[in-house]
Structure 1
Amino acid sequence: MMQRHNWFPNPTYGDPKPTRSIDCTVHQWGSPNNPGIILRHSSDTAGGYAGWVVSGLPAGVKCAFIASCGFADTTDTFRGPLLSVKDSSDNVLADSKTWANNERLRVGLTVPSDGVVKLIFRGRTGKDTAFYQIICTEAGSDESFFTGGTMPLQNN
């Protein structure tokens, strides 16, 4: 049986503080079986986000960042993609769509040679947006069934 890795730096959300946040707050949210974060922009300015640096990824490997997202209205699209992955030089590697209706989002990419990426979350201005069951794992045909709690998992 294949054992999955979750390279997201804090999969149990005991301390949900992002590596960097601009114009937003982040709070722990959810149950032990469904852990996550609540993100809220603190003003009407575009560009606010919470981000985590994920390091130690295997260079050249195809990975997927997967997260469930609560409601984010189509009219809030000025903020950009809900999930974005950048390399260590802030070049965009992959983006999700700009809105969600309580659904699972997936962003696939090939890990850069330094093994470092930045995972960016964007929410709704002045309102809460939930992100939960956040994982970074090897991309594969069975990843859509992997939610962080139902398959063997090694948290790195």
Structure 2
Amino acid sequence: MMRHNWFPNPMLGDPKPTRSLDCSVNQWGSPDSPGIILRHSSDLIGGYAEWVVSGLPAGVRCAFVASCGAAEATDTFRGPLMEVQDSHSAILGHSESWADNKRIRIVFTVPSDGVVRLIFRGRIGKDTAFYQIICTEAGSDESFFTGSTMPLNIN
């Protein structure tokens, strides 16, 4: 099965979100662990970045997956770290509101118009990183969680 990633690869250019609030968004990570960082611009509220992604196959179960960076026990996030909404802002799925170096996975069904909003939220007053971001068909990513495959290391 060939996996398709609908999230734009941050290493192939400037990872400009469709919309961002209270932060700037930059490339982050290494070539084997590419990602984004929400650079906070307010000490009172966490960053917010969203990408509007279109052309997804309507009715298909998809997974929005990313690893979040480190957080301290006292950190507060703007809300759920990751969220998926449809084009009318209805929530299709969301993660927990606090995590530390965790792989997050949200499963959702693509709406009939094939458009979703992929949202990241940052820590209040601190930069927040997300790595290895994918939005793909649910099932094509599940071997990562069952351990039935190993990542390839290409030298």
Q: Percent identity?
A: 75
Counterpart contact for 1:81–1:97, Cα < 8 Å: yes
Q: Deviations over 1:80-139 (max 9, x none)?
A: 100011110111111001111111001110000000000110111221211010000111
Counterpart contact for 1:13–1:35, Cα < 8 Å: no
Query: Deviation above 4 Å: which 4+ runs of structure 1?
Result: none
Mapping for residues 99-110 of structure 1, pairs under 5 Å: 99-110=98-109
Relative to the length of structure 1, the TM-score reads 0.85
Question: Which region of structure 1 is more displaced relative to structure 2, 37-46 or 96-105?
Answer: 37-46
* Alignment partner, residue 49 of structure 2: 50
* Alignment partner, residue 20 of structure 1: 19
| TM superposition shift of 1:11 | 5.1
Relative to the length of structure 2, the TM-score reads 0.85
* Alignment partner, residue 97 of structure 1: 96
Counterpart contact for 2:35–2:129, Cα < 8 Å: yes
1:69 aligns with 2:37: no
* Alignment partner, residue 122 of structure 1: 121
Match for 2:87: what amino acid?
A: S
The count of corresponding residues between Structure 1 and Structure 2 is: 148
Counterpart contact for 1:18–1:52, Cα < 8 Å: yes
* Backbone CA RMSD of aligned residues: 2.2
Mapping for residues 31-42 of structure 1, pairs under 5 Å: 31-42=30-41
Match for 1:119: what amino acid?
A: L
* Alignment partner, residue 111 of structure 1: 110
Counterpart contact for 2:29–2:35, Cα < 8 Å: yes
Whole-angstrom distance in 1 between the partners of 2:71 and 2:107: 21
Query: What SS does the aligned partner of 1:8 have?
Result: coil
Whole-angstrom distance in 2 between the partners of 1:76 and 1:90: 27
Query: What SS does the aligned partner of 1:79 have?
Result: coil
- The structure-2 alpha-carbon separation of the partners of 1:142 and 1:82, relative to structure 1 and needing over 3 Å to count, comes to closer
- Which consecutive unaligned segments of at least 5 residues does structure 1 have? 152-156
